[in-house]
Chain A
Amino acid sequence: QVQLLQSGAEVKKPGASVKVSCMASGYTFTAFYIHWVRQAPGQRLEWMGWINPSTGDTKHAQNFQGRVTMTRDTSISTAYMELSRLRSDDTAIYFCAREGYCTNGVCLHWFDPWGQGTLVTVSS
């Protein structure tokens, strides 16, 4: 079945970088955008950006400009999100999600499925 499997939890020091992976299975990886969304403790879901796995094109939310890099490796159907210059308020669960809810042969621009989430803790 369609699935996104993310890498495990990370603990980082302020100022460091973290790279989270998201491996897709059950569908053609290059056919659907992958989005990244984070959820800080007690906060709403925050959209970070997307990558087009086919072309490598990306778009990022303003809040993350200059700090986030989204890449992909089509040979292993995996998308990556790297966040640099980490701060304590970057502590959050990071999710990847496919932009492509498909029903009755039609695929729509909603997020489905999501990865299981990766907890990133930033602490000195």
Chain B
Amino acid sequence: EIVLTQSPATLSVSPGERATLSCRASQSVNNYLAWYQQKPGQAPRLLIYDTSSRATGIPARFSGSGSGTDFTLTISSLEPEDFALYYCHQRTNWPITFGQGTRLEIK
């Protein structure tokens, strides 16, 4: 099983600043990694797929990068609606796995 480890667990950032979230895989996932955003009481929403492609309707301030085992989600200038939980997700190997999440909170 591929284990995805996200860091930090909680990230405190002020609106307008940049946030950088990390996801490390226990073995290579090639570029088959996605990021989801989840707000309280809501289902996860696809943000980034195939490491760096933005899903439809996702603002350009969200970007993804990385390869192999190390991946990053960057939010260039935080808006109030961006404060949420973020999960990375791989489907290279069975079983499908998710990271434990990074909580992005307002500083």
Contact = CB atoms under 8 A, between A and B. Distances in A.
Chain A CB within 10 A, most for which of B91, B96, B97, B101: B96
Interface stretch (A8-16, A73-81, A105-113): A105-113
B98 A101 contact: no
Contact of A47 (B36, B46, B56, B97): B97
Contacts of A95: 43-44
B55 A44 contact: no
Interface of A is mostly: strand
B38 to A, nearest CB: 9
A111 B89 CA distance: 10
Interface in A27-41: 35, 37
Chain A's interface size range is 20 to 34
A53 interface: no
A102 B46 CA distance: 12
Contacts of B98: 37, 44-47
B34 A110 contact: yes
A62 B45 CA distance: 26
Interface of A: 35, 37, 43-47, 59, 61-62, 95, 97, 101, 103, 108-117
Given A103-B56, A109-B91, A112-B55, A45 B44 contact: yes
A43 B97 CA distance: 13
Contacts of A112: 46, 55
Query: Lowest 5 A-B CB distances belong to which pairs?
Result: A114-B43, A45-B98, A47-B96, A44-B100, A112-B46
Given A62-B95, A103-B56, A44 B46 contact: no
B99 interface: yes
Contacts of B87: 44-45
B95 A47 contact: yes
A115 B44 CA distance: 9
